[in-house]
Amino acid sequence: MLDLTAYGTPNDTPPLLIAHGLFGSARNWGVIAKRLSDTRHVIAVDMRNHGNSPWFSTHSYEDMAADLAKTLGDLGQPADVLGHSMGGKAAMVLATRHPDLINKLVVADIAPVGYSHSQMEPIDAMKAVDLSKIDKRSDAASQMTNLDQGVQSFLLQSLDIQQRKWLLNLDVLAAEMDKIVGFPPISGSFEGPTLFLSGGASDYVLPKHRQIIKPLFPNAKFAKIPNAGHWLHAEKPREFEAAVRAFLDM
């Protein structure tokens, strides 16, 4: 059972489930989730091996999709789903396997393809922190000087100071990194309304990816947020919220 944070109250509008990206948590989406909850029930989850959700020995997209399917099943009605990066890939697998659970799908800055980059540098940086010497976040930050400050600040949100531990299953995420940056072969399609919302300055969703996306998501639409990178929801939160709201309210 994934740990979740709920906003707003259930009503006649389909609920919205939010799935975060690698190294993230439901907490990262709190501001946007709260804003969108003015008209609908919003549920932000901690993905497996992240935040307060259980740790497992695997981190495949099939597993993550199954976790989300269980969460949606507990809601008792089809929901809109928003996934960013890793969460977007999990949401796409979910949509093709359980289309009956999803009303509308928003995929934020990711495509159903494998990528050549790795995310091992942040894992190595977190593993290198001597947690026995941590009394405040700045103590950890001083040991992570090899990272960009924005990445450093983001990762430190997953550090439990009191218990001196990372709220990330770093060993499993490292072991499963090839699966995380990859994408599994999938069959089937999701014919519901789908929005691929990308950062205008990001190269994660390219024109060449559309020939892969369209057979899987025949009703996909594409939009970009100008001057936003991969972390579009954090860089341009108001524009991101407006784009998601406009699509869900159509």
Integer Cα distance of 241 and 116 in angstroms = 29
Active site residue 230: yes
Identified catalytic residue from 53, 85, 158, 198 = 85
Q: Which residues pair with 51 in a beta bridge?
A: none
Active site residue 84: no
Long-range contacts: 236-239, Cβ < 8 Å, 24+?
236/199, 237/31, 237/32
Active site residue 85: yes
Identified catalytic residue from 20, 50, 59, 230 = 230
Which two three-digit tokens encode residue 235?
């860089």
- One DSSP character per residue, the chain reads ---EEEES---SSPPEEEE--TT--GGGGHHHHHHHTTTS-EEEEPPTTBTTSPP-S---HHHHHHHHHHHHHHHTS-EEEEEETHHHHHHHHHHHH-GGGEEEEEEES--SS--S---HHHHHHHHTS-GGG-SSHHHHHTT-TTS-HHHHHHHHTTEETTTTEESB-HHHHHHTHHHHHS-----S---S-EEEEEETT--SS-GGGHHHHHHH-TTEEEEEETT--TTHHHHSHHHHHHHHHHHHT-
Identified catalytic residue from 124, 171, 203, 249 = 171
Catalytic residues: 85, 171, 230
